[in-house]
Amino acid sequence: MNFNEFFAHHRRQIEGLFESSDAARWSVSLEDFARAVWRGVEVPAAHEGAEMPALLAAVRATDLALALGCARGDEPAWDTFCAQYRPALYESARALAHDEARARELADSLLAELYGLEKTETGRNSRFAYFHGRSSLKTWLRAVLYQKFVDEYRRESRLAPLDEGTAEPPARQGSVSAADDRRYADCLGEAVEAALADLRPPDKLLLSYYYVQELTLKEIGRLRGEHQATISRHLEALRKRLRVRIENHLRKVKKLSAFELEQCLDFASRGVSVKLEKALKTE
């Protein structure tokens, strides 16, 4: 069944969902709403007649309408989403990361993907495009956040599949002595300070707002005249650039081996002693 046939057969029920969802408030048309519903309830042709009314009745119409509004770039929809879901998103991120700074980065990165900055003909290139109302928006957000956390963990840890026949992963090799630990910590601190020193003043100020003054993305956006999603994207790009610079400094300046580099970066997960307020000070 194509979309036109689907819409013709179930128009009355879809219109009821549309009216109850308040989709018009977010500048979502009936046709756009119906197409999203159609993508979300697709079933094998043999079961369309029997199952479709029940599937339509189970659609989370209000959540779907809000997600469609956000995907289209409707600012009131985005503001409503942030007010209703951002606190729960941060809470879920903290439960996953067990670290406040890491949790903020994780949640803010997802918020940027949800908002989307690249515009398309129908709106923004937003991750909301993958939500079709089969579950609640809150449940879907938790699942997406968890998958993002797992993906980030695998990427950062450079996990590789175990060799065939390996019963368990090899134990992580620790540092040889407390003196080594101190040396690695000092190396990392020096590398972080060197990487921060090379930043442009606007980038330093942005990091200072977020990590030293602990302003929210919305507060930073007001100061800089930018949307909070734009701020989140800037922060994510800065973190990636800093990591590359830190690794290069450790490898080229401190002359660390691959093993020593991994040991050094291990301190990043435990915190490194750097006076950020001084390192991020702009003249």
Question: What pLDDT is stored for residue 100 in this prediction?
Answer: 84
Closest CA to 89 of 148, 142, 147, 149: 142
Dump pLDDT digits (tens) for 209-259: 887 887 888 888 888 888 888 888 888 888 888 888 988 998 899 888 887
Asked whether residue 184 carries a pLDDT value surpassing 80, the answer given is: no
Mean pLDDT, rounded, for 275-279: 77
Q: Exposed (0-12), middle (13-18) or buried (19+): which is 62, by Cβ within 10 Å?
A: middle
pLDDT at site 162 = 42
Calculate the alpha carbon distances from 197 to 106, 191, 210 in Å: 25, 10, 17
Q: What is the pTM of this model?
A: 0.62
Residue 163 pLDDT > 70: no
Q: State residue 266's pLDDT score.
A: 66
pLDDT for 124: 64
pLDDT at 173 over 60: no
- Average pLDDT value for the chain: 81
Rounded to whole angstroms, the Cα distance separating 206 from 96 reads 26
Of residues 216, 222, 239, the one with CA closest to residue 87: 216
The pLDDT tens digits of the residues spanning 130-150 come to 898 988 999 899 989 988 887
Please count the helices (runs of H) and the strands (runs of E) in the chain.
13, 2
**Looking at residue 159, what is its pLDDT?**
42
**Distance (Å, whole) CA 115 – CA 230:** 9
Structure tokens, 96: 């996953």
pLDDT value at residue 59: 92
Task: Read off the amino acid at residue 219.
Answer: E
Position 281 confidence tier, pLDDT thresholds 50, 70, 90 = confident
pLDDT > 70 in the chain, percent: 81
**Residue 278's pLDDT band (boundaries 50, 70, 90)?**
confident
The per-residue pLDDT for 222 is 86
- What does the pLDDT look like over 21-77, one tens digit per residue? 989 999 999 999 999 999 888 654 444 555 788 889 989 999 999 999 999 889 999
Nearest alpha-carbon partner for 19 in 11, 267, 261 = 11
Looking at residue 118, its pLDDT comes to: 62
Question: pLDDT value at position 261?
Answer: 79
Please compute, for residue 238, the number of CA atoms within 13 A of its CA located in the half-sphere on the CB side.
Answer: 23
